[in-house]
Structure 1
């Protein structure tokens, strides 16, 4: 995936800022905030074909 998540990318569950993109084999993708990605992690890992995780941005400090 070449597209990075931005502040305009919103969680499909709550509308918060998305840090996770889960892509499914049917060309479907869902975006999740860190909270909901953790909450649904077990179910997602059984069904996704690709995961793009940018949660490291929550703990890094910009220059």
Structure 2
């Protein structure tokens, strides 16, 4: 069973280990290794991560507060 714990918040400097996008999830393994993921890559691997991670910090709720980029506004 994995738990969500109070850990230091993720910042804009924290990047997804898969693609480099902003990380919104920190999955901590039993070894203490932290895996940082964007929402997309977390959801792709969520089932397996919930099996092997000892804790998961999920800050994807912050995505609802992200302002659209200029490129998105031009469409």
Do both proteins adopt the same fold according to a TM-score greater than 0.5, normalized to the shorter chain?
A: yes
Gaps in structure 2 of 5+ consecutive residues: 1-5, 68-75
Q: Deviations over 1:6-47 (max 9, x none)?
A: 000000000000000000111111000000000000110110
- Structure showing greater radius of gyration is 2
Instruction: Supply the RMSD in Å over aligned alpha carbons.
Output: 1.4
Number of aligned residue pairs: give it: 62
Q: Which residue of 2 aligns with 1:19?
A: 24
TM-score, length of structure 2 as denominator length: 0.77
Gaps in structure 1 of 5+ consecutive residues: none
Q: Map 1:20-35 to 2 at 5 A.
A: 20-35=25-40
Q: Which among 49, 53, 57 is matched to residue 48 of structure 1? A: 53
TM-score, length of structure 1 as denominator length: 0.90
Which consecutive aligned stretches of 4+ in structure 1 deviate over 6 angstroms post-superposition? none
